[in-house]
Amino acid sequence: MVLVRARVRLVGTKASYSANNVLADSGARMSLVDRLLAEHVGVQYTGREINFVSISGHTVKASEAIVSELEVEGEVLRYEAVAVAEMLNTVKETLEKNGLDENVVVGVLTLERANMIPDTTTGKLEKVESFIF
């Protein structure tokens, strides 16, 4: 299985951030942004607190926030909800060791909203048709 990478751009109220090698993680429900990056770009916190288990197996407390834009492979999503947390050093090291950006992880909710699925044979995101019932 190949890690799936994505081009991502975050736009906040203060700045923007771009990265070419962001992990698209089909095991992560929400997209995750490191707290220092969230403060740098300027996010709007919703007041909702979230607990999740990180890829290192640790329970992490996160705050839900809204970014003005989250662009994934050219698909612009406005007012995207993300989880903001202080990424553990072990997580950052694992991402960096695999040549991935250590500040952002794209989750399933973002991928679904962008009509994309991760292809673990190519390591790329594939655009798909969405279903509305």
Q: Range of 86's domain?
A: 5-127
Domain assignment present for residue 61? The answer is yes
Q: Going residue by residue through the chain (133 aa), what tens digit of pLDDT does each one get?
A: 699 999 999 999 999 999 999 999 988 899 999 999 999 999 999 999 999 876 667 788 999 999 999 999 999 999 999 999 998 888 899 999 999 999 999 999 999 999 999 999 999 999 998 766 5
Cα 46 to its chain centre, rounded Å, is 17
Q: What integer pLDDT is reported at residue 104 of this predicted model?
A: 97
Collect all residues with Cβ–Cβ distance below 8 Å to 31 and sequence separation of at least 6.
Answer: 70, 80, 82, 83, 104, 105, 106, 107, 109, 110
Domain assignment present for residue 132? The answer is no
Q: How many domains does the chain have?
A: 1
Domain assignment present for residue 133? The answer is no
Residue 34: CATH number of its domain = 2.40.70.10
pTM (whole model) above 0.75: yes
